[in-house]
Amino acid sequence: MSRTLPKANPSTEAIPVIFMTALADTTNKVKGLSLGAVDYITKPFERDEVLARVRVHLQLRQLTANLEQRVTERTDALQTAQIQLVQREKLSMLGQLVAGIAHEMNNPIGCIVSNIAPAKQYVADIAGILQLYQQHYPQPVPAIAQALEDLDITFALKDLPKLLDSVKLSSDRIKEISVSLRNFARSDSTTKVVVNLHDGLNSTLIILGHRLKAFDSRPAIATLT
Tell me the mean pLDDT in the region 88-101: 78
For the ranges 5-9, 98-102, 133-137, 159-163, which has the lowest average pLDDT? 5-9
Query: 17-61 pLDDT, tens per residue?
Result: 776 666 666 776 676 667 667 776 767 777 787 788 778 878 888
Among 29, 190, 46, 174, CA closest to 110 = 174
Query: 137-174 pLDDT, tens per residue?
Result: 888 888 988 888 888 888 888 888 889 988 888 888 88
| Higher pLDDT, residue 13 or 143 | 143
Residue 8 scores a pLDDT above 60: no
> H-type helices in 137-213, by residue range?
142-151, 153-185, 197-207
Torsion angle of the four alpha carbons 118, 115, 181, 189, in this order, in degrees rounded to the nearest 10: -100
Whole-model pTM? Answer: 0.47
Tell me the mean pLDDT in the region 97-118: 84
Query: 174-224 pLDDT, tens per residue?
Result: 888 777 777 766 655 566 767 677 776 776 676 666 666 777 777 877 776
- The DSSP-derived string for 7-67 is GGSTTTTTS--EEEES--SHHHHHHHHHTT-SEEEESS--HHHHHHHHHHHHHHHHHHHHH
Confidence at residue 2, expressed as pLDDT on a 0 to 100 scale: 47
What amino acid occupies position 3?
A: R
